[in-house]
Amino acid sequence: MSDSLLPRRDFLAALVSAGTSSALSRTPLWTALGGDAPYGGVIGAPAIITSERLRPQWPSGVQSGDPWPTRAVVWGRTDRDARLQLEWDTTDRFRNVRRVRGPVATSERAFTTHLDLRGLPPGQTIFYRARYESLASPGVMSEPVVGQFRTPPLAHTAPARPVRIAWSGDMVGQGWGIDTSRGGIRMYDALRRAEPDVFVHSGDNIYADGPLLPEVTLDDGTVWRNLVTEAKSKVCETLEDYRGAFAYNLLDDNARRFGASVPIIAQWDDHEVVDNWFHDLVLENDPRFTEKRVRVLAERGRQALFEFLPIRRHTTDRNRVYRSFSLGALADIFVVDLRSYRGTNSANLQAEPSPATAILGEAQLAWLEQSLRQSRATWKIIACDMPIGLVVNDRVRDGVRNYEAVANADNGAPLGREHDIARLLRNLQAAQVRNVVWVTADVHYCAAHHYAPDRAAFTQFDAFWEFVAGPMHAGTFGPNALDGTFGPEVRFASSAPKPNRPPSDDLQFYGTLDIDPRTRALTAALWDVTGKRLWSTELASLPTGRPQTSHP
């Protein structure tokens, strides 16, 4: 693979954003069906002319996500009570369409819809065309919008093509919003051009506690001009505030093009609610908030998260974020949630595990261990919303430094939240689970860390890699210090010349994992927003039952 990004498919080169071009809204439908219309945007007008005021609109485009071999979630949002109507095919000419009557969009869910599209062929590119039909004026349809995604192959079939997974996190943070004069959220365009099979959003989808100013003066004297909406002019407290923060990102043309092109697997971190939150936190000393109880804010943020992202709800636990995905024989992805089950942030030095030291929580930890043991995929990718070994500070309370993530700046035996990770690593070694790779974001720089027992205070584990990427569109920082408990070593790390570098400095990062179907080798790479490859390494796969070496 070259140091530049893979070229876009020809039909992706014409991607445009839904609802942004009146000229495109007049494109004849037959032209769109012939394959000349742009994807991700309005592709035609119905034969009967209808007042635009009567038509449901598409203010946020479409997204797909949570792909399974025969299923995927298609997300949309309109502006009124309306029913989603969708057609799909395996070619972009829509000559053998299957029609699906979708769910109804109502104000109770911010006029969003989630269609869990079933009966799809495995290992195929799926093209879909969606409209909303007004409930107030039956028969009055929105303009059609199109998108695409690829279903994974079945796990028991021989892999026929490479798998590419991309990941990053941290969106519209530290005061950096959409500046259209600077290209908007350019990371979405870079990710779309990378053509991943799936994108893992590693958290901080929004900065609910990060309002925007209309203008920010940069170091060179030029001005960053934010698009500012009512929701992004203050911290989020009400459900409508959180909804508005998610909707803000989809005002960006690049974001809507991306959503129509690449399936998303999303998780959350802290800024979907408030910085460094845990359930018992009370914002006593933050005058920006009238609602001080973070437990209340978290429920509102969680609802908006599920409304505005293409996440499939768990059948029995509808608020559950952790889940897994098979990408065929080559890879399984395990999405974890370090926010919902954690104990209170503390000095993180407890000698024995207890509810106070939880970061994964008992139920999730047991699920993760079992799922990894049962996985038959060559590579097991743990998508974690925070890094394991990097020291992430929280505020000082009662004169004591508290910690936000797993690490506690103590290089000795596992203490505090490190107990959960030590248990997981120990049990994976005992079960001979091999080829485990961690991907994460959160710290606003990119890095590659290799963990090995011969460098560690805790030694009951097989060596593994953790790859860090981000931010997508937020301030750049780093690097952080490493905690030595699990023996991490920095193999690569970006750096910022000073804190909170703006997106215009091009210090925005994402990562890719490419798996070769012939050799089963995994190539991990870190990229910047311009498409420059900064670092990469190739990892050979190991069979079950063979211990990993300390230094692959």
Residue 268 near residue 298, CB atoms below 8 Å = no
**Where does a domain end: 123, 150, 177?**
150
Per-residue pLDDT, 180: 98
Residue 60's domain spans which residues? 10-150
Query: Is residue 131 located within the same domain as residue 243?
Result: no
Give a yes or no: residue 261 inside a domain: yes
Other CB atoms closer than 10 Å to residue 317's CB: what's the count?
10
In this predicted structure, the answer to whether residue 50 has a pLDDT above a threshold of 70 is no
Q: Which long-range contacts (CB under 8 A, 24 or more apart) does 312-318 make?
A: 312/65, 312/66, 312/71, 312/73, 312/114, 312/116, 313/114
Give a yes or no: residue 549 inside a domain: no
Per-residue pLDDT, 546: 43
More confident residue, 47 or 315: 315
In this predicted structure, the answer to whether residue 247 has a pLDDT above a threshold of 80 is yes
Query: Is residue 108 located within the same domain as residue 191?
Result: no
Separation CA 234–CA 246 (nearest Å): 14
Separation CA 247–CA 178 (nearest Å): 12
Residue 124 near residue 109, CB atoms below 8 Å = no
- Please state, in angstroms and as integers, the Cα–Cα distance from residue 355 to each residue in 341, 344, 417, following that order: 9, 9, 10
Query: Is residue 297 located within the same domain as residue 428?
Result: yes
Two tokens at 315? 């059948």
**Where does a domain end: 97, 115, 150?**
150
Residue 416 near residue 409, CB atoms below 8 Å = no
**In sequence order, what are the residues at sequence separation of 6 or more whose Cβ sits closer than 8 angstroms to the Cβ of residue 23?**
none
Strands 400-403 and 393-397: antiparallel
In this predicted structure, the answer to whether residue 522 has a pLDDT above a threshold of 70 is yes
Cα 492 versus chain centre, distance = 23
Query: Is residue 99 located within the same domain as residue 183?
Result: no
pLDDT in tens, 77-97: 999 999 999 999 999 999 999
Other CB atoms closer than 10 Å to residue 513's CB: what's the count?
24
Residue 145 near residue 129, CB atoms below 8 Å = yes
Work out the pLDDT band at 53, boundaries 50, 70, 90: confident
Over range 286-292, report the average pLDDT: 97
For residue 188, which of 202, 175, 203, 171 has the smallest C-alpha distance?
Answer: 171
Strand partners, 526: 511, 535
Give a yes or no: residue 517 inside a domain: no
- Name the burial class of residue 51, with classes exposed (0-12), middle (13-18) and buried (19+) by CB atoms within 10 angstroms of its CB: exposed
Residue 470 near residue 173, CB atoms below 8 Å = no
Give a yes or no: residue 284 inside a domain: yes
Residue 479, preceding peptide bond in cis (omega within 30° of 0): yes
**Where does a domain end: 119, 150, 181?**
150
pLDDT in tens, 103-143: 999 999 999 999 999 999 999 999 999 999 999 999 999 99
- Name the burial class of residue 468, with classes exposed (0-12), middle (13-18) and buried (19+) by CB atoms within 10 angstroms of its CB: buried
CA gyration radius, the chain:
23
Strand partners, 282: 293
Two tokens at 204? 């901080």
Residue 471, preceding peptide bond in cis (omega within 30° of 0): yes
pLDDT in tens, 422-470: 999 999 999 999 999 999 999 999 999 999 999 999 999 999 999 999 9
Query: Is residue 131 located within the same domain as residue 178?
Result: no
Residue 93 near residue 120, CB atoms below 8 Å = no
HEC sequence for 378-413: CEEEEECCCCCCECCEEEEECCEEEECCCCCCCCCC
* Domain containing residue 68: CATH number: 2.60.40.380
Q: How many domains does the chain have?
A: 2
Work out the pLDDT band at 30, boundaries 50, 70, 90: very low
Strand partners, 201: 168, 266
Strands 198-201 and 163-168: parallel
Identify the three-state secondary structure at position 59.
coil
For the chain, what percent of residues have pLDDT higher than 90? 87
Give a yes or no: residue 544 inside a domain: no
Find the largest Cα–Cα distance for the chain.
Answer: 73
Give a yes or no: residue 157 inside a domain: no
Query: Is residue 90 located within the same domain as residue 173?
Result: no
When mean pLDDT is compared across 39-53, 55-69, 215-229, 470-484, the lowest value belongs to 39-53
Two tokens at 442? 């959160």
Work out the pLDDT band at 52, boundaries 50, 70, 90: confident
Query: Is residue 49 located within the same domain as residue 126?
Result: yes
More confident residue, 19 or 73: 73
Per-residue pLDDT, 544: 64
Work out the pLDDT band at 471, boundaries 50, 70, 90: very high
Q: At what angle do helices 362-374 and 418-430 cross, to 10 degrees?
A: 20
**In sequence order, what are the residues at sequence separation of 6 or more whose Cβ sits closer than 8 angstroms to the Cβ of residue 445?**
468, 470, 476, 477, 478, 479, 493, 494, 495, 496, 507, 509
Two tokens at 65? 């996500």
Per-residue pLDDT, 506: 98
Per-residue pLDDT, 447: 98
Separation CA 94–CA 66 (nearest Å): 23
Q: Alpha-carbon dihedral of residues 375, 376, 377, 383, nearest 10 degrees? A: 10
Per-residue pLDDT, 9: 40
For residue 326, which of 461, 206, 156 has the smallest C-alpha distance?
Answer: 156
Q: Alpha-carbon dihedral of residues 30, 31, 34, 39, nearest 10 degrees? A: -120
Name the residue type at position 191. L
In this predicted structure, the answer to whether residue 20 has a pLDDT above a threshold of 50 is no
Query: Is residue 136 located within the same domain as residue 233?
Result: no
Over range 390-410, report the average pLDDT: 96
Give a yes or no: residue 5 inside a domain: no
Separation CA 384–CA 363 (nearest Å): 16
Separation CA 148–CA 154 (nearest Å): 19
- Please state, in angstroms and as integers, the Cα–Cα distance from residue 172 to each residue in 63, 408, 501, following that order: 19, 28, 13
* DSSP code string of 199-247: EEE-S-SS-TT----SEEE-TTS-EEE----SGGGS---SHHHHHHHHH
Give a yes or no: residue 3 inside a domain: no
More confident residue, 23 or 365: 365
Query: Is residue 142 located within the same domain as residue 173?
Result: no
Separation CA 104–CA 81 (nearest Å): 7
pLDDT in tens, 150-209: 999 999 888 889 999 999 999 999 999 999 999 999 999 999 999 999 999 999 999 999
In 173-238, at which residue ranges do the beta strands (DSSP E only) sit? Answer: 198-201, 215-217, 223-225
For the beta sheet containing 82-89, the strands, ordered from the edge strand earlier in sequence to the opposite edge, are: 98-105, 82-89, 125-134, 145-150
Query: Is residue 169 located within the same domain as residue 79?
Result: no
Query: Is residue 318 located within the same domain as residue 422?
Result: yes
Give the mean pLDDT of the chain.
91
For the chain, what percent of residues have pLDDT higher than 70? 89
Query: Is residue 177 located within the same domain as residue 56?
Result: no
End-to-end CA distance of the chain: 21
Over range 309-319, report the average pLDDT: 96
Separation CA 520–CA 314 (nearest Å): 31
Q: Which secondary structure element, helix H or strand E, spans residue 368, and what is its range?
A: helix 362-374
* Domain containing residue 270: CATH number: 3.60.21.70
